[in-house]
Copies of this chain bind each other. A is one copy, B any other.
Amino acid sequence: MGKVKVLVNGYGVIGKRVADAVALQDDMELVGIADVVGDWRVKMAQRKGYTVYCSVSDPKRVEDMKKAGIDVHGTLEDLLKNGALDVVVDCAPGGFGAKNKEALYDKYGVKAIFEGGEKHEVAGLSFVCQCNYDEALEKAEAGHRYARVVSCNTTAACRIFHALYTNFKVSKARMFLVRRATDPVKTDTRGIMNTVVPSTFPSHHAPDVKTVIHDAIPDLYSVAVKAAHTMYHFHLYDIHLEQAVTREDIIEALNKEPRLSLVRMSDGVIGLGAVIEISRDVGLPRGDIYTIPVWEDLVTVIEGKEVLLAAACPNENDVIPENVDAIRALTLIEKDWKRSLEKTDKTLRIPKVLY
């Protein structure tokens, strides 16, 4: 089987990382990236050697991008017409994926991965590698062409819940999220300052988790607020078990789980700032870590059956390996979820132990 030909549509916070991750896979070929403007972001893509396409079939846009100094190689639709792509990873802003699906992916019969900004219904399949790779395989074998990599928060929650529900009988969970306000690059205009802003209660995260883990945890609610910081969400979990456990049981389960890592207040990791510094020190590009740091010494068991967990969600990058795995599941080039996960972790150099 030849390499899977992939294009990343939308070169923003997620798109640029997915492009780099795909380029590292020996079973995939990054045909190029597509965007709609020619600012510094796209200029960097070009300097990096990525072939640049225009996301939209609009000669005016192509012209503007060329004027800005981009060597546009054509439009996404040109590529689709020519059958040059196996999979499009759609990293356009939330809502555009649904439009692109209708206008392009349905029309040309290409496979597509959507991100968490799209609703479950757009893809009909929501995906977190360690939770439901097999479900994705099954659907793909039946001819289903779409998958949605869920949002950073939902991905983090699914990994944590997976550690718990595969090891214990979990009856109920409440999630409280303190979200970062906006991405570092958008802090010029979209920030929040000196405030906390509640979301609608309950928040969409619990229903979103259910699109992946289904009924593994029967009673699930979440609430979320935005706080005045720019990187990493803070997660608190209040999880009820139907069996008695110890702190050690929980820590062992977290330790065994892929793409989760333990940090400790007692090592000086006293907040998101320290977790981010650790991430940068890991040495991967952009300070990415892909794994979910969970505070080992904040694991609290109340009266044997209620567990409190605190975690940091690396919002820019925890979903990147999921995109790579989703491509494999959807194209059926790898039938074993653990082999896909391990290959992705190795190529992206995802750390299990952070320090």
| Interface set of A (CB-CB < 8 Å, partner B) | 16, 39-41, 43-44, 47, 174, 176, 178, 181-182, 184-198, 200-202, 221, 223, 225-232, 234, 236, 238, 263-265, 267-274, 276-278, 280-281, 283-287, 295, 298, 300, 302, 308, 310, 353-355
Contacts and interface: CB of A to CB of B under 8 A. Distances in A.
7 contacts: A40-B269, A178-B178, A184-B277, A187-B194, A188-B274, A194-B231, A281-B286
A192 B189 contact: yes
A184 B267 contact: no
3 nearest A-B residue pairs (beta carbon): A197-B271, A191-B191, A191-B193
A202 B302 contact: yes
B43 A267 contact: yes
Contact of A194 (B193, B196, B269, B354): B193
B268 A40 contact: yes
B184 A188 contact: no
Contact of A229 (B194, B300, B353): B194
A271 B40 contact: no
Nearest to A234: B196
A276 B189 contact: no
A230 B187 contact: no
The main secondary structure of chain A at its interface with chain B is mixed
Q: Which of A191, A226, A280, A298 has the most CB of B within 10 A?
A: A191
Nearest to A193: B191
B300 A40 contact: no
B181 A193 contact: yes
Contacts of A221: 302, 308
Q: Which of A187, A198, A201, A277 has the most CB of B within 10 A?
A: A187
A193 B182 contact: yes
Q: Which of A16, A188, A198, A223 has the most CB of B within 10 A?
A: A188
A271 B176 contact: no
A181 B44 CA distance: 29
A188 B198 contact: no
Given A178-B178, A194-B230, A225-B236, 13 more contacts: A44-B281, A174-B238, A182-B193, A185-B273, A191-B228, A192-B271, A194-B228, A195-B272, A195-B276, A200-B298, A201-B300, A202-B300, A227-B228
A287 B287 CA distance: 7
B308 A196 contact: no
A299 to B, nearest CB: 8
A85 to B, nearest CB: 25
Contacts of A178: 178, 196, 225, 227
B271 A196 contact: yes
A192 B194 contact: no
A185 B277 contact: yes
A298 B198 contact: yes
Contact of A308 (B44, B201, B228, B269): B201
Contact of A39 (B190, B268, B281): B268
B271 A234 contact: no
A263 B221 CA distance: 24
Q: Which of A200, A227, A276, A310 has the most CB of B within 10 A?
A: A227
